[in-house]
Structure 1
């Protein structure tokens, strides 16, 4: 009969890391151990269970039927263990372990980084890993605790919590506005030099809505400069290249400091939702709840100051 006496909880954590990352090498990197330690742990686990859990090839690792069932059981056991420790520990309010947060480059740097910095300052036993990029991130495979996504969500098994919405504003530098007279009618602004984001399907054409009312319009701007990141577009606009349509969270600080001026204030892009996305499961670890609560409070403070 199988007995847990011959195994430790670490064996289960190693196995989960292998399945979540899909690689012995990546699992070893996540756990900060040697690859041989991971390999021996899996061998010991399979020997004690008397079952093959994974199939190794030169290119990838696949999970057997028994391995998939065991993985789900391991995930539930670790959830219950975390919950039990959080309940009885004298330091129940202290956050420990590693918190992995994923989001886009701009949102991470502008909104999330300050929140995580304060959270780390308040909880010195917490290790934080930010994963920034505009590519799709598999939360389970990459061990992400929470992803912050801007825009409509695709259907998935992940849990989602709406925490904010963002819009894009037309902005220009004070120097540009001194050198150029903007037409009073936004429809005539199509001929004003425009800084565009190249990664969009049509970098020059935008749909704008009037924030007070039902009016909307399509406008083709005269692109004078094009860049592949919103940061580069913002820098070009700040240095007087032209007007730009940029996310409110990226330009609010510049507007407050007078480096940029919002133009055509009653027009913007349609608002996009911002969601916190969690891996499947009912349990939300305390470190994740603390981060999301802090992020929501930060967003509320920014909205009140705007």
Structure 2
């Protein structure tokens, strides 16, 4: 039959033995000598065993008290160590950081950031899952997801890290063969490369600050389920497409791609860190901060 013990009394008992007197123990614990004596008396009553014998001038452990003190001291030391380890987890990134990210952004942006994070925090093992499926963070045990575009309503917490531009691009070779569109309406006659994971891969809304929005329906000659694959189609001159800036930026600078319709803009997409719970653990906060720095 289990004995119902107030565990706080174990700490008082260990402190009393270490201090060597009721007066010294009371000073260390910030209480009164009478309260220490009361805790000991109640502990002995709960255990049904005498732990100490004392006179007016000295005290000594009984045999049972000696064995019980050794066990209590070990238990309290283990508890203190557990609390210290928990404090380290609270203050220092450690453990496993499991992240879900969209395929293209995960490969091009999140993976390099995770590599830098792992170098900065060697006590963390990083795990990246790239998928264009919206993952269930709690059921699939993800610490964090990096999601693009426009977030759906959710019970999850989200932090906006950055935004990305959507760029209408084509290769110089394609433009040499098919001509360069000068207004959005021209796109309906051009060869379009569709990114099939988008909600509307062939319908686009172009904005001009001096005119109403222009809605264009394009004609796809090819499609791919990732922006990176569509990017390769565009580079090869198969057609033109709208692709995120983090994929096309290098080729735009190098001249391998050409940005089209410079007077028009497309809606910018957001980059969000999504996580369960109101307060993310330190390993998650540290990665969010690092990724936000790199995206700034």
- Partner residue of 2:101 out of 68, 78, 103: 103
1:298 aligns with 2:294: yes
Asked whether the equivalents of residues 207 and 266 of structure 2 are also in contact (C-alpha less than 8 Å), the reply is yes
Q: Secondary structure at the match of 2:137?
A: coil
* CA deviation map 1:143-169 (0-9, x unaligned): 211111113323332211111122321
Moved over 4 A (4+): 80-83
- Tell me the distance in 2 between the aligned counterparts of 1:281 and 1:148: 17
| 1:185–1:124 Cα change, 3 Å | same
- Tell me the distance in 1 between the aligned counterparts of 2:195 and 2:220: 10
| 1:144–1:82 Cα change, 3 Å | farther
* CA deviation map 1:270-302 (0-9, x unaligned): 1222221111133x22221111111111111xx
| 1:269–1:238 Cα change, 3 Å | same
| 1:127–1:189 Cα change, 3 Å | same
Unaligned runs of 5+ in 1: 4-79, 301-306
Aligned equivalent of 1:59: none
Asked whether the equivalents of residues 161 and 292 of structure 2 are also in contact (C-alpha less than 8 Å), the reply is yes
- Tell me the distance in 2 between the aligned counterparts of 1:2 and 1:203: 68
- Tell me the distance in 1 between the aligned counterparts of 2:163 and 2:223: 26
| 1:106–1:214 Cα change, 3 Å | farther
Structure 1 residue 257 displacement after superposition = 2.8
- Tell me the distance in 2 between the aligned counterparts of 1:288 and 1:110: 20
Structure 1 residue 2 displacement after superposition = 8.9
1:247 aligns with 2:247: no
Alignment map for 1:87-236 (pairs within 5 Å): 93=92, 95-200=93-198, 202-210=200-208, 212-213=209-210, 215-236=212-233
- Tell me the distance in 2 between the aligned counterparts of 1:157 and 1:198: 27
Structure 1 residue 197 displacement after superposition = 2.1
| 1:221–1:235 Cα change, 3 Å | same
Unaligned runs of 5+ in 2: 5-82
Structure 1 residue 202 displacement after superposition = 4.6
| 1:118–1:200 Cα change, 3 Å | closer
* CA deviation map 1:68-110 (0-9, x unaligned): xxxxxxxxxxxx87752246xxxx55x3211111111111111
Asked whether the equivalents of residues 236 and 242 of structure 1 are also in contact (C-alpha less than 8 Å), the reply is yes
Aligned equivalent of 1:269: 266
The aligned length equals: 217
TM-score for both structures, normalised by structure 2: 0.66
Alignment map for 1:10-49 (pairs within 5 Å): none
Instruction: Name the Cα RMSD after superposition.
Output: 2.4
- Partner residue of 1:287 out of 273, 283, 288: 283
Alignment map for 1:54-65 (pairs within 5 Å): none
Q: Secondary structure at the match of 1:268?
A: coil
